[in-house]
Structure 1
Amino acid sequence: MQILVVEDDNRISAFLIKGLEECGYLVTLCKNAEDVLKHYSGIQWDLIILDIMLPGIDGVQLLQTLRYKKIYAPVLMLSALNSVQDKVAALDYGADDFLTKPFHFDELLSRIKALTRRSKHQGQVSADNTLLFGELSISLQQYKVFLGGAEIELSPREYKLLVYLAENADKTVSRVQILNAVWGITFDNHTNVVDVYISYLRNKIEKGGAKYIYTVKGVGYIFKTD
């Protein structure tokens, strides 16, 4: 698996490269956003680990540019900043996860495995990196969803929720797990935002008659096909 590390701090980058290579990952280091765009944006990365505080173009601006260029590799943001606003900004601009410095390497590995894991249950990944569930297809490269060949318009948050559920097909996930994975920050456990977005998704992906999202009473939800 090829990982691009974008980090200008020599101590942190050396720590990351040593640990990741010992775990069998192929790691490329880049110390600024400009070099990423000039030399590395055309490579098919399995994961990008991206620091927010970079010289010149910062990490969030680089992330925006990558997504604009339709580069949809999973992005794990690193930052010494721990404010809710920073996390929300990174996630809203297309980051898949956010890890605050300092962090334990085991936690980093766990995040990497979660980000690169694809469903091995009923969903299948086609050659063009699309999750297939009967009439429902989720393009992980184009950030698009199709039902019976017709594109469904989803908001970025609805899309991220659908991908999370699909990648955990046949597994019950709690509302707290969904909040952490999709919104990325700790919300009030009594918020109904998950239920609201589940309702939005159901109205859009189940309008053809097929059912995909099931409620597990008192726990959360499970994504599966009949």
Structure 2
Amino acid sequence: MLTDLLTASNPLPEELDERLAAQLAFVVEVDRLKTVLRQSPLAAAARRENDAEHSWHLALMVILLAEYADEPIDVGHTMALVVVHDLVEIYAGDTPLYDTVGAATQEARERAAADRLFGLLPADQATLLRGLWDEFEAKSTPEARFAKALDRLEPLLLNWMARGGTWRTPGVTAAVSRARTSAIAEASRALGAAAEAIIGEGERRGWVASEA
């Protein structure tokens, strides 16, 4: 067992089956996701959301908004993608959407984190979860494209509710926000139009800067 795992400080009972012990240790380890703060403000409280809350919100959005996918999607598979997609941030940390400096090292950090985290599981499940993560990152399926679209739409809604939120990051304009959320329209014309309406009205209200 790795000495820096959460279960290292309070090991599971030795009589547990080896496979089950590894699975339960992983379940405990990903409790760290609840501590990874994102930049997006909550709509319901004066604090930032964490990665676990974000992933739950996306899973619910998949159920509610699947009808707007331009390509047929498997809802269960799409939910699996959004639940898994941010797990690597347990070790890699969150890279905010408008953080151009962090983005330069994001891929390398997250791939190293994926190797470490998914490697804690039994081989078959390590392959399964790593495959889901790779699929999401590559947007290689209709499900992955729709999952990525919702990953961009959710913080957009939170920015709207905050009357700015991360839109107020220095250097961010309406055009920058449109570029960074273009994945929404790539998977759903309807949701893309909704995103444009949100950004456009936010710009008119002065919540996101117009071009100089």
- TM tier relative to shorter chain: 0.3 to 0.5
Please state which structure has a larger fraction of its residues in strand: 1
TM-score, normalised via structure 2 length: 0.35
Please state which structure has a larger fraction of its residues in helix: 2
